[in-house]
Structure 1
Amino acid sequence: MSTASIRKIRITRTEGKSTGCSVAVQKWFLQVSAVQPFLPDGWDPKSIFCRRVLGSGFGGGLFFGGYYTILEAFEKIRRRKFEIDFLMIVAAGGAAWLGAWAEGAFLLFLFSIGHALENYAMARARNAISALSELAPEDAVVRRDGEELRLPVAELVIGDIVIIRSNERLPADGFVVKGASSVNQAPITGESVPVDKRPVDNAVAAAKAADKVKSEHRVFAGSINGSGSLEVQVTRLASETTLARVVEMVNDAETRQSPTQSFTNKFERIFVPVVILLAITTGFSWLVIDEPVSDSIYRAMAVLVAASPCALAIATPSAVLSGIARAARGGVLIKGGAPLEMLGKLDSIAFDKTGTLTIGEPELVETVPFGEIGADELIAISAAVEVHSDHPLAQAIVRAVEKRLGTSDLIATDFQSITGKGVSAKINGEHVFIGKAGLFLKDDQDALPEDVAQKVTEMSSRGRSTMIVRRGGEFVGVLGLMDTPRAAASDVIKKLRSIGITRMMMISGDNQKVADAIALEVGLDEAFGDLMPDDKVEKIAQLSDHGGVAMVGDGVNDAPAMANATVGIAMGAAGSDVALETADIALMADDLATLPFAVGLSRSTSGIIRQNLWISLGVVAVLIPATLFGLGIGPAVVMHEGSTLVVVINALRLLGYKES
C-alpha cells in the first residue's frame, strides 16, 4: 500500500468518529459552515481545528501526562523488561499516530491519575509503618552526676537513668529503678490495657541480666507512661531498642514476597510479551477482514490497554503491605508476605507447653491434709521449711502462703536439702520432712501408708507434681503443684476454632500425664509429651509434611522446632532478641490473646488477595475480547484503571481490620 493511500486512510479516520472533537465542537462547526465558500480550496474548518489546534493541545497533554511514564518505560526497556508502562506508551502513541489525540491523552491522563492514587493508597499503608518510628520521643531527661540534663535520645548510653513524668512517652528500653505507674504498652505489644510497673529489688543484679527482668519491671521505648513518675535505667541504645528493631524488620518485610506475589511476577513477565504479540497480530487484521488499516491499528492499541495487568501487579503487594502494617499496629510482627499468607492457609497449630500455654511457673493447686491438721496449717508448716530453698516448687509453696495467709509465725531451723529427694528442718522441736516418695522409703521393704500412696497416685495421674509432708512420725498431708495454664488459654483455643483452625496440639518435654492434663484443661485435641528438643523437631517435620503446621513457642528453646514449622510464631518477643530473630511471626506481648488476631488477619489477607486476583484477571478476561470486537480505547481505559483502584481500595480495608 502506498504512502498516499495510508495518508488518505488516516485523514478519513481523523474526519470520522475518532477525531477527538466533542459533540459540542462538531455542532459549533455546523453553525459556522457558512464560511466554507470563502475559504481556499481544500480547507475544512473541522479538519483544521481538530487536527491542528486540538491535536497540538492533546499532544501537550500526551507529553505532560506521559512524561514520567515514558521515563519509567524506557528505563525498564533499557534493562530488557517490557512491562505495563511500555504497553501504555505504545497504546497512547499509536492512538496519537492515528489522529485520536484525545483518546491517547485520556489514556495517559487516567493512567497517571491511577498511578498517583495507587501511590497515595500505598503510602497510607507505609505511613502506618513509618508512624511506628515516630513513637519514641526525640529527647529525654537524664540524671548524670547528680544533675538533670535534657539530651537527644541518640546520646543515651546503657546505664543512664532517665526520668519519665506522667503522660510522657518512654525514650528507651530499660527497667524501673524508682517510682510506680501504669504504662500503656499498646504501641509495642498490642496489650489493650495499661500494665502496672514497679521498681526492681536489686538494680545491679537486674543490669547484669537485663533480658531476664520480669515484665512488671521492664519498659519499652515508645510506650506511654500513666499518672505516676518513673526513673528507668537504660538497657539498650536507641538504635537497638525493641521499637527500632520492629520498625527495621517491618520495613524489611516489604521486600519479602509472598508465594502469590512471586507467581504474579512470573506471570507478568510471560504475559506482557504475549500481549505485545497479540497486539501486533491484531494490527494486521486488515489483511484478513475488510476494514481500514487505521481501524486494525486502533483495535490493536485498545487491546494493549485492555490486556495490561496493572491491577494484577498491585493486587498482592497492596494487600500484603496493608496486612503487615495492621499487624504491627496490633502488636504482631510479621516478617514478610510469605508467613502472612501461609498462616492464613493453615488449619493446624502446635503449642509448646511451658511459658506458652502455661505461665511457666509451678503453683500450688491442691492441698490434702491428713488427720486433724487443716489445710492452712499444712501449707504454713510447709512454707516455713521451703522458704529456705530456692527450688521452683519450694518458692511456689511460699507464694501460696503469702496469697492465702499473708504472714506466718512459724520458724524453721536446722534446714537441710536432701539432693534429689526433698528437704528437712525443725519446727518447734519437731522434725519436718517434705519431698518425693523416695525420701520416705529407706529400702524395698518400706511403703507409704495406703491413703498417702493412693492420693499421690491419683494426683500424679492428673499431672500434679506431688510433695509429701511428714511431721515427726506422722504423715500430715500431700501437696499438688503444677505449671497452670494461662488464664486466656482456653478462650484463645475456642477463638481459633471459630476462625477455622481444626487441629491443635501440644508438644512438650514434660511427662505425658502432665501434657495430657494441660491439653484437656485448655481444650486441645492431643498432646505429645516426653519429647527432647530433637524429638520436637522431628514431630514438627512430620506434621509439616501433612498439610503444614504453625508452631507457637517462646522463641528460645523452641527455636529449632519453630524453624522447621511451616510458620514459626514466638510469643513474648518484646525485648527478646532470640524470639525476634528466629520467628516468622512474633507476638510482642507475653499474651496468647493476640494469636487469634494474627491468624484472623492472615486469613483476611489471604481472602483479599484471592478477591484481588479474581477482579484483576476477570477484568482482563472481559476487556480483551471486548476490544477485539470493537470496544474503544476510552471505555477500556476507564475499566482498566477502575479495576486497579478497586483492587487497591479493597486491600486498604485491611488497615481497619478488627478481630471478630
Structure 2
Amino acid sequence: MTPQKHTNHDQHTHDHHGIFGEKTELYFAILSGLFFFIGLILKKLIAAPEWTYLTSYLLAYFFGGFYTTIEAYEKIKKGEFEIDFLMIAAAIGAAYIGSWGEGALLLFLFSLGHALESYAMSRAKKSIEALGSLSPKTALVKKGQELIEVPVEKLQLHDIIVVKPNAKISADGVIINGHSSINQASITGESIPVDKTAIKNSSNLPNFDEIDKQHVVYTGTINGDNAIEVLVLKLNEDSTISRLIQMVSEAETQKSPTQLQTKKFEKWFVPIVIFLVVVLCFAHLVIDETINESLYRAISVLIAASPCALAISTPSAVLSGIACAAKNGVLIKGGRALEDLGSLTTIAFDKTGTLTEGKPKLTNAIPLNDFDEKQFLKVVVEVESLSNHPLARAISKDIKTTYSIETNNEASDIQAIQGKGIKAIYKNEWVYIGNTRLMLDNGIAVTSHVETTMKELLENGHTVMLVAYQAQLIGLLSVMDVPRATAKDTLQKLKDIGIKKMIMLTGDHQNVGDSIARQIGLTEAKGNLLPEDKVKAIQQLKQRDAKVAMIGDGVNDAPAMANSTVGVAMGAAGSDVALETADVALMSDKIDKLPFVIGLSRKSKYIIKQNLWISLGVVAFLVPITIMGLTNIGSAVAIHEGSTLLVVLNALRLLRFKV
C-alpha cells in the first residue's frame, strides 16, 4: 500500500466501477465478510457437512480476493512484489494447509481495510473536487440586446456575461457594469462578502493579475443582490478554480519527507519478510513439528509482518491535511510543504501588500501659523484632485472621506516640479505642495519648529509634504502605507504558537520598516532591499535558522520565495505567478490565515507520527509472538488489519481541523 499504489489503486476502482458503482469494492468486502461468517456458523455451530461451509468460504475468498488479486497482478507485471502479493500468498497458503476459515477472514479484513482506505482517500479527494462543482455549468452571454445561455466551456475571451442576483459567477473576469457584494468564500476562504464595483475604462485593461481586485470576480463565487455585467478574461480551463483543482491533484503526488523514508524502509523490509517466511516453511526440518505446523506459522508471520498500516499512515494524513486547507481557502502543494511548515520558527515577510494595505493613506493634515483648518484642507483638496500622482490621489480621497470636504474645481494650471512637488493656481494665488526645497526655491521660509515636526514624522516612516499659499506656509501633510488591521493580532497569534523570529524585508526606507515593525510587533526589519537583496537576506536567515518561510504577494517576491524553505503567497486568487512559485498559497490577501496553516501543519505532523508509532508498534509486537507460535492466524489478522483501519480513521480527523 505504498503512496503510488493509491493512485493506481484509485484508477482501478474508477476504471471498473463494477456492478455496484464506485462502492463496489466496499460491497465486495462486506459480501466476503458475510460468507465468512456463514461458513463459520455452518462449521462451528451447526456442524453441517463439509461442502456447505467450504462453499461459503470459497465465496468469501472470491469476493475478498477479487480486487486484491487484480492489484497484485498489475504490480507483478511491473516486477514489484508488494503487500497485496503477500496477502494473496498468505490466503493460498492457508487454503493449502486446510485453514480455509483463517484465509477467508484474512481476505475479508484486508479487502475491508483496502476498501475503507480507498473510500477515505476519495473522501479527501472529493472535498477537493467539490471545488470544481462550485463553478456553474452555463453562463448568460449578452449579444446586442439578447441574452443567450451557453455552456461555460463555450465562453470566449471578451464575451460579456450577465450575472443575476444571488447567482454563481461562471468566469474569471472584470465587472464593466453594476456593483455588488460578492461571496468569495469558496476561493479565498473569506467569510465576509467583498464589495466590487465596475472598472471605469474597460477598453485598455492591464494584465489580469494587475487589475485592482475590487473590480475582479472569480468563477464559482456568488453574486450578491445586484445584477452585474462581467467581461470574460480567462477561459474555463484557465480559471482560478480549475488551476486550483489541477494543483491540488498534483500536490498529492509530491511525496513528503516521511513518505520517502517509509518508501525506503519498505524496499528492504518486504524482501526480508519473504525470505523469513520461506525459511520458516522449512522449520520442521530443524524442530519437532509437522510440515503443516511449519507452514501455518510461516503464513501467520507473513500476515503479521505486512506493513499495510505503515504504507498508508503518511499519505492518508497528507491528503486529509491538504483537503482541509483547500476547504479553508489555502492551497498546499504536497506533503513536503505541509510537513516543513510545522517545523518553522522563523518567518520573513514582504511589507507592501502583505503586512500593510499596499496603498498610501493620509496620516496627518496639520494647519500651521493659525491658518483655518477647514480652509487649509479645502486648498489642498482643490489642488491635489487635479493631479494623477498616487500620493495626490490618496490625499484628496482621504480628505473627502474623512473630513467630508468636496471639490468645486476652483484650482487650475497644475504643474509638476520634478523631485520637488507640484504648484497650481487657486483663487488667483499660487499654491505649492512639496518638499523643503520647493518652498525655499519660491522664497517661502521654513521655520526650525516645522523642520523638527517634519523630522519626527520622517523618522516614523511617514512621507511629509509642506503646503504654501499666498506666499506663506499654511500647513503640513503626511502619508504612509499603514499596517493591515489584522497584522498585529496575527503576529501575536504566531508568537503564541511558537514562531520566535518575524522579520520584514522591504524595498522601502529603513525608517518606514522600523516604524511598521514597532507598530505591529515584528522582531526585525530590513529596509532598502532590491529583489536580489531579499534573496540574499533569505539565504542568510537559512544559514542562521535552518528553515525559513517567506510570505509575500508572489509577484516581486517570487525569487525570495523560491529560495526559502516554504514560500507562502498571499492573495493568490487570480495570480498565476504566485500560484506557480509558492509552496503554499493563501487565496485571499488576508494574512490572518497564517496561524491556521501553521497549526494545521503541526497537527498533520503529529498525526503522521502517531500513525507511524501505531503501525510499527503493531508489527514489532506481532512478529515475535507469531514466530513463537503464541497467536493463531485469526487473531494476527484481526490485530494487523485493525491497526490499518485505526491509522486511516486517525488521519481523517484532520478534515475537521479548526484553529
Please state how far the C-alpha of 1:374 moved relative to its aligned partner.
Answer: 3.9
Please state how far the C-alpha of 1:71 moved relative to its aligned partner.
Answer: 2.6
Alpha-carbon distance between aligned partners in 1 of 2:440 and 2:610, rounded to the nearest angstrom = 69
Please state how far the C-alpha of 1:366 moved relative to its aligned partner.
Answer: 1.8
Alpha-carbon distance between aligned partners in 1 of 2:125 and 2:579, rounded to the nearest angstrom = 21
Please state how far the C-alpha of 1:625 moved relative to its aligned partner.
Answer: 1.5
After superposition, where does 1:224-623 map in structure 2 within 5 Å?
224-403=222-401, 404-409=403-408, 411-442=410-441, 448-545=446-543, 546-623=545-622
Structure 1 residue 189 corresponds to structure 2 residue 188: yes
Alpha-carbon distance between aligned partners in 2 of 1:24 and 1:68, rounded to the nearest angstrom = 26
Contact 1:455 1:478 in 2 (8 A): no
Larger CA Rg, structure 1 vs 2 = 1
Contact 1:356 1:571 in 2 (8 A): yes
Please state how far the C-alpha of 1:106 moved relative to its aligned partner.
Answer: 0.9
In structure 2, the CA distance between the partners of 1:26 and 1:323, relative to structure 1 (3 Å rule), is: closer
Moved more, 492-501 or 94-103: 492-501
Contact 1:261 1:317 in 2 (8 A): yes
Alpha-carbon distance between aligned partners in 1 of 2:439 and 2:347, rounded to the nearest angstrom = 43
Contact 2:366 2:475 in 1 (8 A): yes
Contact 1:83 1:269 in 2 (8 A): no
Contact 1:95 1:298 in 2 (8 A): yes
Moved more, 355-364 or 74-83: 74-83
Q: Which secondary structure does the structure 2 equivalent of 1:226 belong to?
A: coil
CA deviations on 1:103-136 (whole Å, 9 max, x unpaired) are 0111011111111111111111111111111111
Q: Which secondary structure does the structure 2 equivalent of 1:345 belong to?
A: coil
What residue identity is the alignment partner of 2:216? R
Alpha-carbon distance between aligned partners in 2 of 1:22 and 1:180, rounded to the nearest angstrom = 70
State the partner residue of 2:638.
638
Alpha-carbon distance between aligned partners in 1 of 2:315 and 2:137, rounded to the nearest angstrom = 32
Please state how far the C-alpha of 1:77 moved relative to its aligned partner.
Answer: 2.2
Alpha-carbon distance between aligned partners in 1 of 2:217 and 2:317, rounded to the nearest angstrom = 32
After superposition, where does 1:211-222 map in structure 2 within 5 Å?
211-222=209-220
Please state how far the C-alpha of 1:532 moved relative to its aligned partner.
Answer: 1.3
Q: Which secondary structure does the structure 1 equivalent of 2:360 belong to?
A: strand
Alpha-carbon distance between aligned partners in 2 of 1:59 and 1:123, rounded to the nearest angstrom = 30
Please state how far the C-alpha of 1:439 moved relative to its aligned partner.
Answer: 2.0
Contact 1:172 1:220 in 2 (8 A): yes
In structure 2, the CA distance between the partners of 1:435 and 1:614, relative to structure 1 (3 Å rule), is: same
CA deviations on 1:222-272 (whole Å, 9 max, x unpaired) are 011122211111111111111111111111111111111111112111111
Contact 1:554 1:570 in 2 (8 A): yes
In structure 2, the CA distance between the partners of 1:416 and 1:296, relative to structure 1 (3 Å rule), is: same
What residue identity is the alignment partner of 1:108? L
Alpha-carbon distance between aligned partners in 2 of 1:312 and 1:539, rounded to the nearest angstrom = 40
Please state how far the C-alpha of 1:376 moved relative to its aligned partner.
Answer: 3.8
CA deviations on 1:525-572 (whole Å, 9 max, x unpaired) are 111111111110011011123221110111111110001010111111
In structure 2, the CA distance between the partners of 1:144 and 1:600, relative to structure 1 (3 Å rule), is: same
In structure 2, the CA distance between the partners of 1:228 and 1:278, relative to structure 1 (3 Å rule), is: same
Moved more, 392-401 or 494-503: 494-503
Please state how far the C-alpha of 1:388 moved relative to its aligned partner.
Answer: 2.1
CA deviations on 1:301-356 (whole Å, 9 max, x unpaired) are 11111111111111111111111111111111111111111112212111000111
Paired residues, number: 619
What residue identity is the alignment partner of 1:201? K
CA deviations on 1:44-90 (whole Å, 9 max, x unpaired) are xx9xx44x553454234323421321232233223221211111112
Please state how far the C-alpha of 1:477 moved relative to its aligned partner.
Answer: 2.1
State the partner residue of 1:657.
657
Q: Which secondary structure does the structure 1 equivalent of 2:203 belong to?
A: helix
What residue identity is the alignment partner of 2:176? V
In structure 2, the CA distance between the partners of 1:109 and 1:24, relative to structure 1 (3 Å rule), is: closer
State the partner residue of 1:161.
160
Moved more, 639-648 or 66-75: 66-75
Structure 1 unaligned blocks of 5 or more: 1-19, 30-45
CA deviations on 1:177-230 (whole Å, 9 max, x unpaired) are 222222111111111011122222222234x54433222221111011122211
Contact 2:39 2:57 in 1 (8 A): no
State the partner residue of 1:73.
72
In structure 2, the CA distance between the partners of 1:23 and 1:124, relative to structure 1 (3 Å rule), is: closer
Contact 1:55 1:99 in 2 (8 A): no
Please state how far the C-alpha of 1:25 moved relative to its aligned partner.
Answer: 4.3
CA deviations on 1:347-379 (whole Å, 9 max, x unpaired) are 211100011111111111122321112444333
Contact 2:42 2:52 in 1 (8 A): no
What residue identity is the alignment partner of 1:657? F
Alpha-carbon distance between aligned partners in 1 of 2:249 and 2:588, rounded to the nearest angstrom = 20
In structure 2, the CA distance between the partners of 1:446 and 1:286, relative to structure 1 (3 Å rule), is: farther
After superposition, where does 1:5-84 map in structure 2 within 5 Å?
25=43, 49-50=49-50, 53-84=52-83
Alpha-carbon distance between aligned partners in 1 of 2:642 and 2:122, rounded to the nearest angstrom = 19
In structure 2, the CA distance between the partners of 1:244 and 1:26, relative to structure 1 (3 Å rule), is: closer
Contact 2:444 2:468 in 1 (8 A): no
Alpha-carbon distance between aligned partners in 1 of 2:538 and 2:486, rounded to the nearest angstrom = 24
Please state how far the C-alpha of 1:422 moved relative to its aligned partner.
Answer: 0.7
Q: RMSD of the TM alignment (CA)?
A: 2.1
CA deviations on 1:402-435 (whole Å, 9 max, x unpaired) are 1122414472223211101111122223222111
Alpha-carbon distance between aligned partners in 2 of 1:354 and 1:132, rounded to the nearest angstrom = 30
In structure 2, the CA distance between the partners of 1:371 and 1:24, relative to structure 1 (3 Å rule), is: same
Structure 2 unaligned blocks of 5 or more: 1-37
Contact 1:379 1:397 in 2 (8 A): no
Please state how far the C-alpha of 1:23 moved relative to its aligned partner.
Answer: 8.7
Moved more, 429-438 or 619-628: 429-438
Contact 2:317 2:652 in 1 (8 A): yes
What residue identity is the alignment partner of 2:643? S
After superposition, where does 1:66-145 map in structure 2 within 5 Å?
66-145=65-144
Q: Which secondary structure does the structure 2 equivalent of 1:469 belong to?
A: strand
Contact 1:381 1:410 in 2 (8 A): no
Q: Which secondary structure does the structure 1 equivalent of 2:204 belong to?
A: helix
Moved more, 640-649 or 426-435: 426-435
Contact 1:410 1:427 in 2 (8 A): no
Alpha-carbon distance between aligned partners in 2 of 1:57 and 1:409, rounded to the nearest angstrom = 94
Moved more, 392-401 or 382-391: 382-391
Q: Which secondary structure does the structure 2 equivalent of 1:236 belong to?
A: coil
Contact 1:187 1:222 in 2 (8 A): yes
Contact 1:168 1:224 in 2 (8 A): yes
In structure 2, the CA distance between the partners of 1:260 and 1:26, relative to structure 1 (3 Å rule), is: closer
What residue identity is the alignment partner of 2:579? L
Contact 2:92 2:103 in 1 (8 A): yes
Alpha-carbon distance between aligned partners in 2 of 1:424 and 1:308, rounded to the nearest angstrom = 82
Contact 2:554 2:569 in 1 (8 A): yes
Q: Which secondary structure does the structure 1 equivalent of 2:424 belong to?
A: strand
Please state how far the C-alpha of 1:499 moved relative to its aligned partner.
Answer: 2.3
Alpha-carbon distance between aligned partners in 1 of 2:427 and 2:144, rounded to the nearest angstrom = 52
Please state how far the C-alpha of 1:458 moved relative to its aligned partner.
Answer: 0.8
Identity of aligned residues (%): 51
Please state how far the C-alpha of 1:624 moved relative to its aligned partner.
Answer: 1.1
